Amino acid sequence: MTTKPKVAFIGLGAMGMGMALHLLDDGFVVSGYDVNPKALQILEEKGGIAASSPRNCATDASFLVCMVANAAQTEEVLFTVSTGAVFGLPSNATVILCSTVPPSFPGKVLVKFHVDLARPDVQLVDCPVSGGTVRAAQGKLTILCSGTSEALVAAGPVLDSMAETKYEIDGGLGSANKVKLVNQHLAGIHIAAAAEAMGLVASLGLSTKAFHDTVLGSTATSWMFENRVPHMLADDWTPHSALAIFVKDMGIVTTEGLVQGVPLWVASSAEQLYLLGAQMGYDREDDAGVVRVFLPKSPSLVYSAARAATSPDDPRTFELIRCLLEIVHTVAAIEALALGDSLGLSTRDLVRIISNAAGASEAFKRASSRIMAGDSTSGPNISETRCMLTDVALLAKKLRYPLHLAATALNLYDLALVRGLGSQGVDFHGRDSGKSPWIRT
Ligand SMILES: *[C@@H]1O[C@H](CO)[C@@H](O)[C@H](O)[C@H]1NC(C)=O
Ligand SMILES: *[C@@H]1O[C@H](CO)[C@@H](O)[C@H](O)[C@H]1NC(C)=O
């Protein structure tokens, strides 16, 4: 077997370890660094090299993969005086930033390498990854990547080894994180929306399992609904993906909204739910556990209501709550596309990538194809949809059940009515009319 070049891998968490071991299996020489000695031991047992510092890890490596939790940790492992990876990195190495970070961050890292530390030889790509621990270990991740074409070519062998699907995003360094940000915007809202709907069904004493089955395959479903609601039904908070990650990622999303001047009504509302969940002590558990924010007095209610008896009246209520989910997803889709637009991303590219990613939903597919077709009249109009939301709001009020995302959506529909968009269909982002809640008039 021919030996492939050396890869320095920093950040051997659940996903990072899988990626590093896969690179080893694929014939790369892998040296690893992590603050957790146990992780280093595992890497060493599998044939990797355990390094004593990021600097030591990067020595003689052609590639440096950085898979730490966030931007602050990335800076720390790269640039800490004397132990930082940059001080071990040989000439012409390629640095691959895999963490989800604010889109402006990779550019700052590049300036640090090229200007502050006088290392113009270093190539840099940003490439947020997704797919979870199992796919990480199989080299079947989805990777978004951006950088100069030279840097992307240089990083190619490592990215191709780790990825099943690789999207090169135009627009230069940071663009991949812009797409990731829009995906996280949707994914984060979809989990929170699923939680709000499931909590409401449970609070009504209806069968949460039956409701779940009603939503699957309908226009109200989402990738996250299908993936996370089973955790809620099982009352299983094993952290397949920790709630803390969405505290971080929704924070990146809403900060970017503030920077861009794009009001993110729905994302901000979802962010509050994750913050509440973290305050309640759920941050290290699965993100689906955010459902307990809606049910503080009976956090297992979605599970216990799974076996509730069904009654002939259920279909009407189910349909109402299913519509609520679809409406929230639709508003989220429009908000996400408005955010993507302000970041300079093409709607067509976003749709192509996100329709196959964790941010996917049926509503996103429908809303985006209508928006791209310039169709603002088909489907239920804004007045009609607002009536439906009002019915749900009244239902929840009777139970004293707290609605967050639905309440935000209702406010948006009211705003759209005030702006005279009542007869319009789903596309009330009204780019042309300038009356969109996402455009400052
Ligand atoms: C780095 O790349 C430059 C430009 O391609 C080349 O001239 C130089 O020899 C390389 N340095 C090393 C140490 O490989
Ligand atoms: C919205 O649609 C409903 C049902 O098609 C219709 O009765 C109503 O007049 C419409 N409202 C507006 C403001 O266009």
Q: What is the pLDDT of residues 389-421, one digit of tens each?
A: 999 999 999 999 999 999 999 999 998 888 888
Q: Report the pLDDT value the prediction gives residue 434, as an integer from 0 to 100.
A: 61
Kindly provide the residue ranges of all beta strands, DSSP E only, lying in 45-122, ordered along the sequence.
49-50, 63-66, 94-97
Looking from the CA of residue 92, the nearest atom of ligand 1 is 1
Give every CB contact of residue 160 below 8 A, 6+ residues apart in sequence. 166
Q: List the residue whose alpha carbon is closest to atom 12 of ligand 2.
A: 423
Of 398, 422, 393, nearest to 408 by C-alpha is 393
In this structure, how many other beta carbons lie within 10 angstroms of the beta carbon of residue 96? Answer: 27
Rg, the chain, Cα only = 23
Q: Report the pLDDT value the prediction gives residue 3, as an integer from 0 to 100.
A: 78
Distance of alpha carbon 12 from alpha carbon 59, whole angstroms: 18
Give every CB contact of residue 192 below 8 A, 6+ residues apart in sequence. 269, 270, 273, 274, 290, 404, 405
**Which ligand is closest to the CA of 423, given by its number?**
2
Kindly provide the residue ranges of all beta strands, DSSP E only, lying in 127-218, ordered along the sequence.
129-130, 141-145, 163-168
- Cα 153 → chain centroid: 26
Looking from the CA of residue 422, the nearest atom of ligand 2 is 13
Classify the C-alpha dihedral 17-166-368-249 as positive or negative: positive
Q: Which class for 80: exposed (0-12), middle (13-18), buried (19 or more C-beta within 10 A)? A: middle
Residue 136 to residues 12, 161, 229, Cα–Cα distance (Å): 12, 10, 23
- Ligand 2 center from residue 421 Cα (angstroms): 11
Start-to-end C-alpha separation, the chain? 64
* Binding site membership of 150 for ligand 1 (Cβ less than 6 Å): no
Of 432, 228, 234, 189, nearest to 326 by C-alpha is 189
Catalytic residue among 6, 180, 248, 435: 180
Of 352, 328, 66, nearest to 182 by C-alpha is 352
Looking from the CA of residue 382, the nearest atom of ligand 2 is 1
Q: Report the pLDDT value the prediction gives residue 402, as an integer from 0 to 100.
A: 96
- Residues for the chain: how many in total? 441
Pocket test of ligand 2: the residue of 377, 378, 382, 383 to mutate, having most ligand atoms within 8 Å of its CB, is 383
**Which ligand is closest to the CA of 378, given by its number?**
2
Residue 298 to residues 197, 279, 409, 412, Cα–Cα distance (Å): 16, 17, 26, 31
Distance of alpha carbon 19 from alpha carbon 43, whole angstroms: 11
Q: List the residue whose alpha carbon is closest to atom 3 of ligand 2.
A: 384
Per DSSP, 114 falls in state I
Residue 279 to residues 136, 243, 254, 284, 292, Cα–Cα distance (Å): 30, 11, 19, 11, 12
Pocket of ligand 2 (CB under 6 A): 381, 383-384, 422-423
Looking from the CA of residue 91, the nearest atom of ligand 1 is 13
Report all structural domains of the chain as residue ranges with CATH numbers, in order of start: 4-173 (3.40.50.720), 177-418 (1.10.1040.10)
* Weakly modelled stretches of the chain, pLDDT under 50: 441
Q: Find the helix or strand (DSSP H, E) in which 124 lies.
A: strand 123-126
- Ligand 1 center from residue 94 Cα (angstroms): 12
- 246, two tokens: 């969405």
Is 140 a residue of the active site? no
Of 330, 365, 328, 370, nearest to 350 by C-alpha is 365
Sheet of 141-145, strand order: 129-130, 141-145, 163-168
**Which ligand is closest to the CA of 122, given by its number?**
1
